[in-house]
Chain A
């Protein structure tokens, strides 16, 4: 074996702690090492050139790079090795930065010793590495998008416009997400429906978008380029192929259900279309509220439907779709009502959240756009807006900032003033975060031109006194206690991941953060990739964000999908399981151990085989094999044994 070892200083990141010259000196005497060299920045062009030159001069057959984490530059150095004639699977990384110099900054001696041992382990590993070549797998050029809010719709349109088919799954009966509930949008105050409906109708009629509403993803199998998705379309009890959306059923229905779209502010018929611009414009029966299902009596909708579309017997339907890439755009929910007891949220009807205020403002909402409080329909003359309810609250909520509340609260206060010119809006805030194009100006306008009174401080309590809500707070700028008798209180509650996000992440075998937002592969440089290849993230599924940021990220996710679809075939890691048929007894334990159906028994030859393309290289079968017949390529038992010797010995 002729191994070259390349030790990076990473400026002072490694070199400031680890004694690099000593490392190079010791390693150059290690068995199998043809040459050890160091360089200030191994990932730089001159650093890469140095590696190539030494490979050629020393006729190396393997290399070890001692530098940052393999997560950073493994691929870089593999391609450098390959370009100079070393098989890329015979290039190993010793992580002497993230797991050595950085966490041991005050112990240079020990860090140096550790670096030497980590490099020795990497040399032992590379000694056993086989020269492999990447496997090639076909790509299904069809995308699945989960969630049809503005993020999912934008990604779907971008991918469909580029010529690929899209399956767009939405669990509600209609598309548009939360944006469909908004009245106006900051910082321009243009009507949300007016800018959204061109998108919803385009999605609804696009020839390459297969829209599955009232549907959820049940399970997913496969891998990048080749996913099989099982989708459940929940029963609507209306045959949408026959239904014309005339609305007669809704008019005549005698039963009532609380309207989710209107945030529970009104009741709607048990058979209804959520809002006038809904796409698809078809009704759904709520089985919990419908007289036919609850009492077994009513059948009015069935009688009045002119096309016979009502189908009380309808069952959930299961579909299977084959796709090559997935975009997760599941959006957000608001912090649950029950958790904000001190503000009487969920107890006093006139304490509402931001989305409820949007509905009060909306021309198609329960009050036709007039600001009337829920309890008695009175026009509120004093309205208190409270920001950071649940957000930036380590004790009772979430430590993170929900990002959009400063802006939408300013918007709410301004819209309120436009409609109730003699009313007084107050805003309790912690800090105003108005970073964004035109945002700061928007907030300034609220305070300077529109008479919105901003009070810097927290509200301690809200309680009912007669028909007023008494708001106890503090103005930290004047140092005075504040008591306001308000007619209505609007809470900017925290943005939380959509319900079911964690369960979906499990189905997708990808990760979420501690709050349940989907984790991106890198917080700065790979913000739309998930930790699973072929799965991308867009919108509030990843973190709270506003509409412009959501649309940007959705476009970016679509671009990633299109890049994936631009290749005929994808490469698949060749570090998969392999079987020594001489040793295999055909017992089938490996078949049981495999989570990917990549292991099967060849019953004729009585040996276990590996389907390379399905194998994810996890190594579970190799451990399970009772007679050592299965090995994981380039992570064999003997390799790990020598690595242990290198670090313990």
Chain B
């Protein structure tokens, strides 16, 4: 547990960096998350952190805000060695983090959330002083140039607005140090829509005026777009440093995965889909639910249709509704000419519909259960003779799919929670394939949180399934992904389908074409 008094000081730099990390090591049972990371954050710069899942990004961030105690190594803040024991401790040293999963209290106002925990003059003798509190909050919001009403209830704000509130809140640590604070943004763009991302970038550039920013993202283009310098983490080490001015995504990509990027990320040309004779397999007519109205939609056999739209467009709800997981009030859905009952996920399963939820860890898989049990969860009959489970049958089916999808796991009995994200997702996908009867796949952000290599494998699998005649409805993680994968893109806005854009391999629309339709 003691620190390693090695790694001597780095002479030569005139002004000490705001934050410096030397030889940080953190080991978990069986895994070395950080393997001697060195890193420097200078005053008023935006430092990018890129890396695959499991490269050690989140462990590093947690160490910087006192949520993880490193086994070895040193953290220096403004030239002074510190030990960070808690988020509070980190805040005292001017380090604050905007968490990926938001940490605001939904039923309080934005103002209350901003001053929560650091009320200062906002509280006197145990009583809230509303006017002062509101003023304090307004100051914070002004600092980032936000027009959000401090008296709005937090749960009435959009996701992007809540993120701004979080940034305003984190900036409160400024008063504790009276020096340039370090603000960490952990995957801030992962759930934002394109328009919102641009706003966030402006925000980050504005933050640079009075703070240092660590910007973490798995999207290479973003990191290059907004950062002054980029550190690439790989296998718990800093694999290199890049200046965006003289770098391009390909180089970064190679640094991240340690090999050359596949030229065709989406395998678009590889298996050009048979565009002919496509009578629709899935037909949706006038489907109406709480978040969408009068949706008409066709998906042909072997076709991949991407649905795009901003947050609140109703596409997630539509996807869930087609699986019977949320209620609909009107409309007809037919699969292969037969009426599809939308009463329960069970009915949808039985009809040959498969669904990969966006929240893999909480909705997609059952973490403590084995790979085998997770894979056969939806199609129990593949491992049964009559009502009885035949372990041999299950072993055969599961092992063959582990091989076919090259799922990296010590064995079928390993708990799925122990696998990496990409392999977990492959098991979740295989769940619908083992039965051999899947006709329609609903993929809700199937590559969310996956690293580049795993994404690529998921794309290949999607292509292969489409080639076998499976109809796919895709809610893509990004516009690029939607365009790259889909044969047709359907644009939703305010719960309605507003446009349909053909997306053939030889005539892909640009993201801009789609954005125009979305807003």
Co-assembled chains A and B: no
